[in-house]
Amino acid sequence: MNIPSNLKYTHDHEWIRTEGNMGYIGVTDYAQSELGDVVFVEIETVGETLSKGDVFGTIEAVKTVSDSFMPVSGKIVEKNIKLDSNPDLINKEPYGDGWMIKIEITNPAELDELLSPEQYKAQLG
């Protein structure tokens, strides 16, 4: 299982990579493997400011539909438009081109509440 050391993680299997006050968010390798083949990604929250734990979008896979949650509070400034035509990027490159949204982080202290790579690995067992 791929768990990059430069990211923070949630109990719900989202990750965030920070660049200054900006954050890129996606779902983990574990999450995409549990979902199966991703066929559609819906993100209609661009421009909205959401709180930690709010749903920012959904991932539709062959097996199920899953909500995606904000790991920290922030304003959604961009969605990954590549996912519109290639939703399977979430399966192929969950930590690369399969990112879902870019946010402006509004409460950086919430980053300290997320899981480290070691803690996330331990959660998975």
Distance, in Å, from the CA atom of 84 to the CA atom of 55, rounded to the nearest integer, reads 19
Residue 101 lies in a domain: yes
Check: CB of residue 43 under 8 Å from CB of residue 125: no
For the chain, give the percent of residues with pLDDT over 90. Answer: 98
Which whole-number Å values give the CA distances from 122 to 1, 9, 75, 94, 118, in the listed order? 12, 12, 30, 20, 6
Q: Tokens for 86?
A: 């290639």
User: Which residue range(s) make up the domain with 91?
Assistant: 12-106
Which whole-number Å values give the CA distances from 48 to 20, 26, 43, 85, in the listed order? 20, 17, 11, 23
Could you identify the residue written with the tokens 């949630």? 10
23 has pLDDT over 90: yes
pLDDT confidence tier of residue 29, bands split at 50, 70 and 90? very high
For residue 85, the domain's CATH number is 2.40.50.100
Residue 52 lies in a domain: yes
Residue 1 lies in a domain: no
Check: CB of residue 124 under 8 Å from CB of residue 115: no
For the chain, what is the domain count? 1
52-99 pLDDT per residue, tens: 999 999 999 998 999 999 999 999 999 999 999 999 999 999 999 999
Residue 83 lies in a domain: yes
pLDDT of res. 43:
98
